[in-house]
């Protein structure tokens, strides 16, 4: 196995993009690939290039030649985040923004989540906490947003990761993982 990480561990790499960046989506995706190459070099001794990447039935990327390495990438606003583990993982980061939380909440939150949202002193925070958890879940399972988010079973384990007070981030896996976070300034 290529992975030199400890069992039941996930490394989370965080890269902050330049303030007022005007990067196009393809450039941000490239930043995610560079962050992944950096992590593979640091954790697995790779040479700094990415191994062959394939996509699962629902589009989740994986390394067919390195089945012991699992990863997931997300980006929002000024941040690109990466989770790397021996276990399937999903990660999501979301910048807090203003929106009609009530209308969106009715569509994506379960009945109990929606009631918690309505009772919350800070509906925006409540919504985004739940949203990143759900996104991390569907990225972990590899299914993406292919079914009603309100009806997700939400089995498994998750943990919130503090990145910036204007962002929420969560990681999801089948079992509890020890999470280490590393900020990467230069790629």
Domains annotated on the chain, with CATH: 9-183 (3.90.470.20)
Distance CA 15, CA 33 (A): 12
What is the tens place of the pLDDT at every residue in 129-168? Answer: 999 999 999 999 998 766 778 888 889 999 999 999 999 9
Q: What is the pLDDT of residue 1?
A: 39
pLDDT computed for residue 67 by the predictor: 93
Contacts of 147 (CB under 8 A, 6+ apart): none
Give the mean pLDDT of the chain.
91
Q: Is 172 in contact with 5 (CB distance < 8 Å)?
A: no
Q: What is the pTM of this model?
A: 0.91
Q: How confident is the model at residue 6 (pLDDT cuts 50, 70, 90)?
A: low
């Amino acid at each position: 196995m290529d992975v030199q990480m400890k069992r039941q561990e996930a490394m989370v790499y965080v890269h902050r993009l330049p303030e007022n960046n005007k990067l196009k989506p393809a450039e941000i995706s490239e930043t995610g690939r560079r962050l992944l190459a950096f992590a593979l070099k640091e954790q697995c001794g790779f040479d700094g290039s990415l191994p062959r990447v394939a996509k699962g039935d629902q589009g989740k990327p994986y390394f067919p030649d390195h089945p012991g390495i699992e990863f997931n990438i997300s980006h929002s606003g000024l941040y690109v985040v990466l989770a790397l583990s021996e276990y399937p993982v999903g990660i999501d980061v979301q910048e807090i923004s203003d929106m009609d939380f009530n209308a969106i909440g009715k569509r994506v939150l379960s009945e109990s989540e929606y009631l918690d949202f309505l009772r919350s002193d800070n509906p925006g925070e409540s919504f985004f906490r739940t949203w990143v958890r759900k996104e991390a879940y569907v990225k972990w399972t590899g299914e993406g947003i292919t079914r009603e988010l309100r009806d997700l079973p939400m089995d498994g384990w998750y943990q919130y990761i503090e990145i910036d007070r204007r962002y929420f981030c969560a990681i999801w896996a089948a079992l509890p993982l020890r999470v280490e976070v590393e900020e990467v300034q230069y790629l």
